[in-house]
């Protein structure tokens, strides 16, 4: 029995045409798959899968930063809303480089420190008063010479028992130098010459230059803040009555159970914190 041999001598052109047909079919097929699976104009059958894949591959750094921020906002004792802000030029210089959540180093207390930026200027805790000038604390609002309040967190709403709602979210307690009859501000705003200068040139500075400017902004700034009981005790440096706090709110702030609060976050022995601060302070002195 003799099999008819397969014909192998097609002209080259027919291979070429065959190849083109296959390519066209593949292109059409590909287009159809794309349309049904992924295209924004089609039903997007496979989009959920794609999204899942992307989710897994976003930057872990970005994600952990997001998580960190979310948890800080979560640990916040008040609802965190986007408060109105003072116009840029009238904001404190600190906010050029720091945020409303400036504390990050000490996990046990950072969230609790950060809530204080809602009602304090940084200087209330960080002012370095080497000359020992008497200090007086007052509500400060860049838009009003003598803000009247009611101020944030100073009283409870008798109906709900929660802190009263207020309209003024710009005013914050700030330290003033008492000089005779006059009060002198200790604050520096972004419209101050050094800040304006810095904002103009910062992109052109070398890291060294930047560090030296940073130092200038920190001249009167204490790297650490006061201990909690400087304010949370009956010997508070703040005159709560004069600052407009209601008697009930004052009692609660003065008798806040700090140690209880902190140990709730972690096994944490309070005096250790301040021993650690002392150590840091000695290290700081060794820095250039
Ligand atoms: C030009 C940017 C800039 C400005 C403005 C600025 N800071 Fe800083 N600050 C930094 C940087 C960067 C660091 C961390 C590096 C360092 O230790 O110097 C820092 C660190 C700090 C520290 C911790 C210091 C330490 O030694 O651990 C405190 C407290 C502080 N800033 C408070 C303030 C306050 C309050 C203001 C406003 C009066 C302010 N900063 C303005 C950039 C700035
Ligand atoms: C209630 C007081 C208080 C206020 C208000 C406050 N701080 Fe602090 N800050 C502290 C204390 C206390 C420390 C030291 C924390 C520690 O020992 O870990 C500190 C440390 C810091 C540090 C270095 C350590 C860290 O956690 O990163 C920076 C930076 C800082 N403060 C910036 C600011 C800025 C900027 C503001 C204003 C937006 C501000 N602080 C307002 C009390 C305060
Ligand atoms: C410079 C004074 C000052 C220092 C220092 C200070 N606090 Fe406060 N803190 C206050 C004032 C005032 C309030 C209430 C403000 C308001 O509600 O308007 C407050 C509120 C709080 C609250 C919210 C309490 C509530 O009932 O809503 C916590 C928590 C807190 N502080 C913890 C701490 C811890 C922890 C430290 C030390 C690491 C500390 N504070 C240091 C003045 C201070």
135-190 pLDDT, tens digit each? 999 999 999 989 998 998 999 999 999 999 998 989 999 999 999 999 999 999 88
- For residue 119, the CA-to-ligand 3 centroid distance in Å is 9
Which residue's CA is the closest to the ligand 3 atom numbered 15?
Answer: 153
- For residue 113, the CA-to-ligand 2 centroid distance in Å is 7
Find all residues with CB under 8 Å of 179, minimum gap 6, and list them: 133
Looking up tokens 């000089």, which residue turns up? Answer: 179
Mutate to test the pocket of ligand 1, among 92, 95, 96, 97 (most ligand atoms within 8 A of CB): 97
Mutate to test the pocket of ligand 1, among 217, 223, 288 (most ligand atoms within 8 A of CB): 217
- For residue 143, the CA-to-ligand 3 centroid distance in Å is 25
Residues lining ligand 1, Cβ inside 6 A: 92-94, 96-98, 122, 126, 188, 198, 213-214, 217-218, 221, 223, 284
Q: For residues 144 and 206, what is the distance between their CA atoms, to the nearest angstrom?
A: 38
Find all residues with CB under 8 Å of 125, minimum gap 6, and list them: 116, 222, 225, 226
Residues lining ligand 3, Cβ inside 6 A: 77, 109, 112-113, 115-116, 119, 124-125, 152-154, 225-226, 228, 230-232, 238, 252-253, 256, 258, 261
Give yes or no for residue 263 having a pLDDT over 80.
no
Find all residues with CB under 8 Å of 171, minimum gap 6, and list them: 139, 140, 141, 144, 147, 149, 151, 152
Cα dihedral value 254, 92, 187, 273, nearest 10: 40
Q: What length does the chain have?
A: 288
Give yes or no for residue 16 having a pLDDT over 80.
yes
Give yes or no for residue 277 having a pLDDT over 80.
no
Supply the pLDDT for residue 88. Answer: 82
Omega before 80 cis (within 30°)?
no
- For residue 242, the CA-to-ligand 3 centroid distance in Å is 17
- For residue 222, the CA-to-ligand 1 centroid distance in Å is 10
Looking up tokens 């609002």, which residue turns up? Answer: 141
| Residue whose C-alpha is closest to residue 78's, from 152, 15, 144, 17 | 152
Supply the pLDDT for residue 284. Answer: 41
- For residue 106, the CA-to-ligand 2 centroid distance in Å is 10
Q: For residues 43 and 125, what is the distance between their CA atoms, to the nearest angstrom?
A: 58
Query: Could you tell me which residue, 279 or 258, shows the higher pLDDT?
Result: 258
Q: For residues 138 and 243, what is the distance between their CA atoms, to the nearest angstrom?
A: 7
Supply the pLDDT for residue 271. Answer: 46
Which residue's CA is the closest to the ligand 3 atom numbered 17?
Answer: 153
For the stretch 108-135, pLDDT in tens is: 788 889 999 999 999 999 999 999 999 9
Percent of the chain whose predicted confidence (pLDDT) is above 90: 44
Which residue's CA is the closest to the ligand 3 atom numbered 13?
Answer: 253
Q: For residues 189 and 109, what is the distance between their CA atoms, to the nearest angstrom?
A: 27
Q: If pLDDT is split at 50, 70 and 90, which confidence band does 282 have? A: very low
């Amino acid at each position: 029995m003799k099999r008819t041999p397969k014909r192998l001598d097609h002209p080259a052109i027919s291979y070429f045409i065959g190849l083109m047909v296959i390519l066209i079919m593949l292109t059409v097929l590909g287009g159809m798959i794309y349309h049904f699976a992924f295209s924004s104009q089609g039903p997007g059958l496979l989009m959920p899968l794609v999204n899942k894949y992307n989710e897994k591959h976003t930057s872990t750094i970005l994600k952990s930063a997001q998580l960190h921020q979310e948890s800080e906002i979560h640990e916040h004792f008040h609802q965190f809303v986007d408060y109105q802000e003072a116009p840029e030029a009238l904001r404190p210089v600190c906010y050029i480089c720091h945020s409303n959540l400036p504390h990050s180093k000490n996990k046990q207390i950072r969230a609790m420190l950060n809530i204080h930026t809602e009602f304090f200027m940084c200087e209330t805790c960080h002012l370095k008063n080497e000359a020992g000038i008497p200090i007086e604390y007052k509500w400060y609002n860049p838009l009003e010479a003598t803000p009247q309040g009611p101020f944030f967190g100073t009283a409870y709403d008798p109906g709900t028992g929660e802190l009263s709602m207020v309209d003024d979210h710009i005013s914050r307690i700030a330290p003033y130098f008492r000089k005779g009859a006059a009060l002198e501000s200790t604050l520096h705003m972004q419209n101050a010459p050094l800040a304006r200068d810095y904002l103009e040139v910062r992109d052109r500075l070398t890291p060294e230059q930047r560090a030296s400017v940073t130092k200038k902004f920190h001249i009167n700034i204490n790297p650490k803040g006061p201990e909690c009981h400087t304010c949370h005790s009956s010997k508070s440096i703040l005159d709560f009555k004069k600052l407009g706090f209601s008697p009930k709110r004052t009692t609660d702030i003065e008798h806040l159970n700090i140690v209880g609060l902190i140990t709730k976050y972690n096994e944490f022995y309070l005096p250790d914190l301040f021993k650690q601060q002392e150590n840091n302070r000695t290290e700081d002195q060794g820095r250039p």
